[in-house]
Structure 1
Amino acid sequence: MTNHLHKNDLPDGLDFGRAVAIDTETQGLSLVRDKLCLVQLSSGDGDAHIVQMDRNAYDAPNLKALLLNQDVTKIFHFGRFDVAIMQRDLGVDTHNIFCTKIASGLVRTYTDRHGLKDICKELLGVDLSKQQQSSDWAADELTDAQLSYAASDVLYLHQLRTILTARLVREGRLDVAQSCFDFLNTRCRLDLLGWNDVDIFSHRMRRPD
């Protein structure tokens, strides 16, 4: 496994094939307060490409072109946050999405544990370390431990997608999963506009107490 660190954008000519796993790191989990720091990507070959963003410009034409490319499937875990933060800071919608957390929620109905660590442990026998989860991702120089943690969030998503897709087919829920993936950009726009805690489909649109 090799981690490739890139400053500000992906290099020219980098080809991830027909599917790319993507994750992000920010200073926190607020779509109002916290900026995008890293974007991690993998083609599923065991290598990770980590883009350390310029938080003053977000001028990343190669990364943006990849996100917009409808011929490439983008695999996320909890894409709702990653897609939203890239909508906000990169100014682009991400097309052709598969979210392993949504897929897990639709087929692993025997549990309420749908975090990446839980899914990797059950489905792949991989025990992910979350030691660097709370970390200064805006640092000018990232440690090897930070890079390894960031990479681990994308290295297994291709395998999870394969397993979860088979289960979606088995349970007859692939169509509803695809509808959820297609709706994700709209869900993210609602989050960014302030409807993150409001169910607009409910008869009574109340915020939770």
Structure 2
Amino acid sequence: MHIHGLIEDSAALANLCNRFANKPFVAVDTEFMRENSYWPELCLIQIADDEEAAAVDPMADGLDLTPLLHLLTENQDVLKVFHAGGQDIEIVYNLTGKTPHPLFDTQVAAMALGQGEQIGYSNLVDSYLGISIDKGARFTDWSRRPLDKRQIDYAIADVTHLSKIFPKMLDKLMKTGRGAWLDEEMERLSNPENYRNDPDAAWQRVRIPSRKADVLGRLKALARWRELEAQNKDLPRGRIVKDETLADLAGNPPRKQADLGRVRGLSSAWSSNDIGGRLVAALADAKPLSSEEMPSRDSRKPALGKDGALVADLLKLLLKIRAKEISVAARLLARSDDLEALAAGQREDLAILRGWRYEQFGRDALALVEGQLGFTVRNGKLKMTRTEETEETA
């Protein structure tokens, strides 16, 4: 494989992208820093196919990333291969408002091949290539220039390895007939809505015990205010105000700005500074949450009751058995929310009752809930049996 030097000029990048535009796939990775910022700072982009690989320096003066971003988001003929690519995809979305498509995530694919829930990249490389990755440059400050050869080699290896692993995984998926299992997951990963930071929805990430409309309305207003402050200042949300402080303020709002100096988690300066003033203004404008936005008593779980909770536990046991039998990660087969919804009586809009999940697990899960499937112990092993079979052998 031909490894290019660090690409820092627009002509070289355009030529590289022109070649990649006619390839069936490219492996992609990024290096970024975000510990001290709201927006991830893109520091390096690595890309490879089966013949050549390069690292691109997005921090180089005058470098036009347009050809590369076009390749990732507009060229539908080239499959983009990532490993655990959520944050890489987020960066592309922040730059373009679009996500790479079509895409393939090797961590998700490994779930379909029975390699665990979230296999790490180094373990994946060792499993498929028998290579132990040198982790010496893992904690590099990628924003510092110049980058030395060891750092660049370390970064490029991520995509050169990935470009060799992908065809092997694809071959396994085709042989096992599990390629179609991944279509829904890959589409979900590439959905732009997953990466849109909507200030009006930020409150949903903050834990708060209250379900009162006025309290949640204040939380919504405060979370929106914090999101905009963090974006404008390019600081992590927690550097503005921590979640627990937002929840306290929503539940016990100050009457005036001077009271902010007595709020745990805020300094005394907030009682008179500009940001404190903006916080108080956000509270003053808060309105009770509308009935349409109000969460259920527990938006994450249906009303199970004691019997339903026992059924959910049985479904989780069934899931473990089936996942082991067909060698697939349980999380790819079904999520706890779906199991609890099924146990509570829901039958509509459940992924486990559609497509391949229904064939591999959902049919038996439904049979268990409806009393047509049970568990027996044979030769010291837990087995599933149809109730008719149990009755005949009783």
Q: TM-score, normalised by structure 2?
A: 0.45
Match for residue 31 of structure 2 among 25, 42, 47: 25
Whose strand fraction is larger, Structure 1's or Structure 2's? 1
Match for residue 93 of structure 1 among 93, 99, 113: 99
Conserved? CA contact 1:4–1:48, under 8 Å: no
Match for residue 13 of structure 1 among 12, 15, 19: 15
Conserved? CA contact 1:8–1:60, under 8 Å: no
Aligned residue type for 1:13: N
Q: Corresponding residue for 2:110?
A: 104
The Cα RMSD (Å) is 2.9
Percent of pairs with identical residues? 25
What are the ranges of 5 or more consecutive residues in structure 2 without an aligned counterpart?
Answer: 208-297, 302-394
Higher relative contact order (CA 8 A, sep 6+): 1
Partner SS, residue 5 of structure 2: strand
Q: Flag the 1:83–1:31 CA change in 2: closer, same or farther, 3 A.
A: farther
Q: Corresponding residue for 2:119?
A: 114
Match for residue 133 of structure 2 among 119, 122, 128: 128
Aligned residue type for 2:55: I
Tell me by how many angstroms 1:35 deviates. 1.1
Aligned residue type for 2:114: R
Partner SS, residue 127 of structure 1: coil
How many pairs were matched up? 199
**Residues 145-198 of structure 1: per-residue CA shift (max 9 Å, x gap):** 110111011002122112222332344321121221122122x64244257899
CA distance in 1, matches of 2:34, 2:126: 25
Conserved? CA contact 2:8–2:63, under 8 Å: no
Whose helix fraction is larger, Structure 1's or Structure 2's? 2
CA distance in 2, matches of 1:93, 1:57: 24
CA distance in 1, matches of 2:132, 2:206: 32
Tell me by how many angstroms 1:132 deviates. 0.9
Q: Corresponding residue for 2:80?
A: 74
Q: Flag the 1:93–1:158 CA change in 2: closer, same or farther, 3 A.
A: same
CA distance in 1, matches of 2:97, 2:188: 18
Partner SS, residue 75 of structure 1: strand
Q: Flag the 1:161–1:57 CA change in 2: closer, same or farther, 3 A.
A: same
Q: Which stretch of structure 1 is more off in the superposition, 83-92 or 130-139? A: 83-92
What are the ranges of 5 or more consecutive residues in structure 1 without an aligned counterpart?
Answer: none
CA distance in 1, matches of 2:49, 2:37: 27
CA distance in 1, matches of 2:152, 2:14: 22
Tell me by how many angstroms 1:71 deviates. 0.7
Tell me by how many angstroms 1:66 deviates. 0.8
